[in-house]
Chains A and B, each alone.
Chain A
Amino acid sequence: MGIPLLSLIVFTPAAGAAVLMFLRSDDAVRWTALGVTVLDLALCIAMLASFDTTTHEMQFTETHPWVPVLGITYALGIDGISALFVFLTALLGLICVLASWVAIDRKVKAFMISLLAMQTLMQGVFCALDLFLFYVFWEAMLIPMYLIIGVWGGGGRVYAAFKFFLYTLAGSVLFLIGVIVLYFNGGETFDILALTAQDLPFPVQSWLFFAFLIAFAVKVPMVPVHTWLPDAHVQAPTAGSIILAGVLLKMGAYGFLRFSLPMLPEASVYYSTLMLALSALAIVYGGLLALAQDDLKKLVAYSSISHMGFVTLGIFALNLRGLEGGILQMFNHGVTTGALFLFVGLIYERTHTRSIADYGGLMKVAPVYTTFLALFTLSSMALPGTNSFVGELLVLSGGFAADLAAGAAAVVGALLGAAYLLGMYGKVALGPASVGARFKIRDVNAREMAAILPLAVFVVWIGLYPKPFLNVIDASVVHLLAQVHSKGSGQ
């Protein structure tokens, strides 16, 4: 037994948060938080460096008894799918600290502690191999996130925080009951791998599928349980939005991949049409809503709903291209939308308005800013050469193979995406410089650049050469698909 690398990755931020409690000056707090997130990212890179892409087995596993009477263990481990998101979480964690450097000017210590606590819990969700442990991480996230939105958010923050908290809680308590039912039907164990190997009768699978669906659909969010998202996004501070869009939304999709598909294969196949329909609805409806927004943050928030529709569409296409595209798109969305929220935050810090109508001709006053904004906007609308193109193409080809109508809806969604994103970019960056007349806008500085550049690198890297990323997930996806079809084909 070597170094417990995953435990280190998960609990380094928490340890950092504990250290922060003893610091007094705000600057010390900021630098320590930055150091902790850099360390965590370094650990993740070390983990990826020794990650074996040829196997679907869980790697870096750790198991310790926790509550032996109930068969609860402290079990961590990652496969290709979780590895990607552990890395994404660490990356966005670092960017969140940078994004909050000056944007958060009161209760800095408490904010950074919440942020680091959040990071521990998110890493825990992706690493947990025990359902109970998973649930503890999953649910405990509500506490710091509630505070991040509610204390440091915008004008309507209290309402948004309540809505976020209650929606998510209501979704996940049903998941909890599902977990307990699964426990008794699956041989009194919370071990995710052991439960995956179980063959549950179809009626049980069916009930569990819907119990899980409610929890995951709220997180993704899928239409019609998406209404918490615009409020939470708009009111949250920039770092909160980045975490929400970048990582939290992925957890719903991750839940489908980790639980619904492998544990409930028959139900997943049986209800895949329903899921495709819901995904298509989310894609088109989210796109239409985004088209009508004047608030920059709201626009990105609604575009998230549309983009996450692509993800679930890919997952429930239940074929290799769809799944790989969906997972890659999860990563891409984390990078691209995280970046877009960062950009909205940056400009809001300067002008204190998010209304698109207030902007225009930003290109002339902040050329570097607008250039990178163009990159991420194009990435978000999946222009060839950017990361989302690869993901969306895979999803579309998988989607068309699974269901013609769903594929067609996705194409409509992609067109809508081009419309609202280009429209937004045109109004903000091009044309006469209306905002420049009222505000003196400085371009991005070095710290902001440090937050932007890593994301830009991934946009281009995945866009031009996605193979390393697909390699990481490939073995796990092939295995997952085999599980679904070997058991689910009975239907």
Chain B
Amino acid sequence: MTAAALFQSALASLPEIVVITGACILLILGQLLRKGQEHFLVWSCVAVVLIAALATLMLSSEVRPAYTGMFIADRFAAFFKFVFYLATVLTFLLSRKYADIEGIESSEYYVLLLFTLSGMMIMASATDLLSIYVGLELMVLCTYVLTGFLRRERRSNEAALKYVILGAVSTGIFLYGVSLVYGLTGTTQLDAMAAAVTGHPLDPGLLLAVVFIVAGLVFKVGAVPFHMWVPDVYEGAPTTITAFMSVGPKAAGFAVILRVFLNPLVAASDVWIIVAAIAVVTMALGSFVALVQDNFKRLLAYSSIAHAGFALLGVVAGGADGIASVMLYLLIYSLMNLGIFGIVIMMRNGDFSGEVIEDYAGLAKPHPGLALLMLLYLFSLAGIPPTAGFFAKFYVLVALVERGFVMLAVTAVLLSVVAAYFYIRIVMVIYMREPERTFDPALTPLVRATLAFTAAGTIGIGLFPAWFLRLAQNSVFGG
């Protein structure tokens, strides 16, 4: 590799370099900080992310392949990176107070989040099965640790252990699929793979390889049949990490799925039938099981499974609209989901866990503003206009019907009616019960800022979706 090529490669991956360097520096600085100086750490982390965002913005004008075809900085990656930045920064803001309440004192918490971010960014930009694997592992290893961060809590430890074991298995499956692909085509690059099989009838070995890769990736987004870890991990992890995982790593998983699945190789293999089946079963399971949950975090876990199923339908639709619909869906889902999690995180104060839905009974009376925000997020999650959640679903349906998958669209909307039930049940608890206790939410300025931002996004994109829609459409790769 010549010096010029190396420089070009480094330039293309500048945001990743910024984040990783920043994380390393903060890792050392964090050890030197005294107690009570955590806010310095939080703001430094935010600053690192903002610098990376600036770099991404400056690089997004053209497509830059790098590292001999392992990596690419294109608008598709840039769009996802902005979703990741958004999720990470909001998680930082939500974490500050929550970390005090839960007694998380180590600075590694923030640094690990930065490393997770870098892993997700690599995933979004990876164009080779091996660089995908590197990004994936970097991301999940950090989230394993973060899940178990409440060291004194059994649930947290148990969740982390479960997550590690299941995650390792799924990674193994993924790697096995990669090795099969390499054996059959002699390459692991996505484009080269496609070129290698063009003109050949698909052999069963390749199909098997694709199924293994699918299995590995589907685990990361929490779709059936690899969803079992989701509720336990979501429930056990610190709520801030749950919020983060439901948004960031999930979006990263989808970034890879879109790159891999909409590759000509996969598109030719009728694998969409598998994905369609997975999507429908995922939606059905998420929606129906969520009906009987009493724990708010578990309910949101199943809700996130259902949403993953809906987004997968956009993958099934494929094409420019299909890809754009998934991207827009993930952006909107990030906003509304971080919003509702923000409230759950904020309710955790003193002895009050705020994890059981009944804990929210009558919230509307003492805190009408908070109740209104929850109403907004919940109806958005349910997909009722004029919220952004409706437009996200609407666009996926448009993409589906455009491809002629009308029955899939009908199934999807009927299942979303089931899902609406458990969202409005929470609204019922908030508005139609009498308060049984006094509420003392940890409403710090940072939390307020997060809620204001997510609420503005949830209603703003719902009312004026045009700009965001065009952004997503312009960011579709190859389009």
Contact = CB atoms under 8 A, between A and B. Distances in A.
B386 A177 contact: no
Interface string B399-443: 001100010011001101100110011011001100000000000
B398 A70 contact: yes
B110 to A, nearest CB: 38
A110 B368 contact: yes
Interface in A153-201: 157-158, 161-162, 165-166, 169-170, 173-174, 176-177, 180-181, 183-184
Contacts of A135: 385
A182 B466 CA distance: 21
Nearest to B409: A177
A142 B395 CA distance: 21
Contact of A69 (B386, B409, B473): B473
Contact of B410 (A69, A142, A150, A177): A177
Contacts of B385: 135-136, 139-140
A139 B397 CA distance: 16
Interface string A117-148: 00000000000000000011001101100110
B428 A162 contact: yes
A183 to B, nearest CB: 7
Given A140-B386, A147-B431, A162-B428, A183 B398 contact: yes
Mostly, the A contact residues are helix
Contacts of A150: 428, 431-432
Nearest to A121: B386
A465 interface: no
A139 B384 CA distance: 7
A473 B474 CA distance: 46
Contacts of A166: 417, 420-421
A412 interface: no
Contacts of B414: 170, 173-174
B335 to A, nearest CB: 18
Contact of B401 (A139, A142, A181): A181
A143 B379 contact: yes
B469 interface: yes
A151 interface: yes
A66 interface: yes
A176 B394 contact: yes
B391 to A, nearest CB: 8
A2 interface: no
Contacts, number: 84
A180 B397 contact: yes
Contacts of A110: 364, 368
Interface string B454-476: 00000000000110011001000
A65 B469 CA distance: 14
Given A139-B390, A157-B432, A173 B379 contact: no
Contacts of A169: 384, 417, 420
Given A139-B384, A151-B431, A157-B432, A173 B416 contact: yes
A68 interface: yes
A300 to B, nearest CB: 25
Contact of A173 (B386, B417, B469): B417
B401 to A, nearest CB: 4
Contacts of A437: none
Nearest to B416: A173
Interface size class of B (residues with CB under 8 A): 20 to 34
The winner among B379, B427, B470 for most chain A CB atoms within 10 A is B427
B394 A142 contact: no
Contacts of A157: 432
A165 B406 contact: no
A409 to B, nearest CB: 33
A210 B259 CA distance: 39
B432 A177 contact: no
B398 A173 contact: no
Contacts of B427: 146-147
Interface in B367-407: 368, 375, 379, 384-386, 390, 394-395, 397-398, 401-402, 406
A298 B14 CA distance: 69
A3 interface: no
B382 to A, nearest CB: 8
Contact of A140 (B384, B401, B431): B384
Interface string A69-83: 110000000000000
Contacts of A446: none
A1 interface: no
A66 B421 CA distance: 30
Nearest to A147: B431
Interface in A378-429: none
Interface in A42-71: 65-70
Contacts of A177: 397, 401, 406, 409-410, 413
A64 to B, nearest CB: 11
A69 B466 contact: yes
A366 B70 CA distance: 86
B409 A180 contact: yes
Contact of B386 (A65, A136, A151, A161): A136
B398 A180 contact: yes
Interface in B59-102: none
Contacts of B402: 184
Contact of A184 (B379, B401, B417): B401
Contacts of A136: 385-386, 390
A410 B368 CA distance: 49
A23 to B, nearest CB: 13
Nearest to A171: B417
Interface in B180-196: none
A174 B410 CA distance: 7
Interface string A440-479: 0000000000000000000000000000000000000000
B477 to A, nearest CB: 18
A70 B469 contact: yes
Contacts of A69: 466, 469-470, 473
A67 B421 contact: no
A350 B383 CA distance: 41
Nearest to B429: A158
Contacts of A66: 466
A150 B428 CA distance: 7
A161 B428 contact: yes
A169 B379 CA distance: 12
Nearest to A65: B466
A380 B427 CA distance: 37
Contacts of B420: 165-166, 169
Nearest to A149: B432
Contacts of B368: 110
Nearest to A165: B424
A91 B397 CA distance: 37
Contacts of B425: 162
A230 to B, nearest CB: 20
A120 to B, nearest CB: 11
Interface of A: 65-70, 110, 135-136, 139-140, 142-143, 146-147, 150-151, 157-158, 161-162, 165-166, 169-170, 173-174, 176-177, 180-181, 183-184
22 contacts: A67-B465, A67-B469, A69-B470, A70-B469, A110-B364, A139-B385, A140-B386, A142-B384, A146-B424, A146-B427, A147-B427, A150-B432, A161-B432, A162-B421, A162-B428, A166-B417, A166-B420, A169-B384, A170-B417, A173-B414, A180-B401, A183-B401
Given A150-B432, A151-B431, A177-B413, 4 more contacts: A67-B465, A140-B385, A140-B386, A158-B432
List the 8 shortest-distance A-B pairs measured between CB atoms, nearest first.
A173-B413, A136-B385, A67-B466, A180-B401, A170-B417, A140-B385, A139-B385, A150-B432
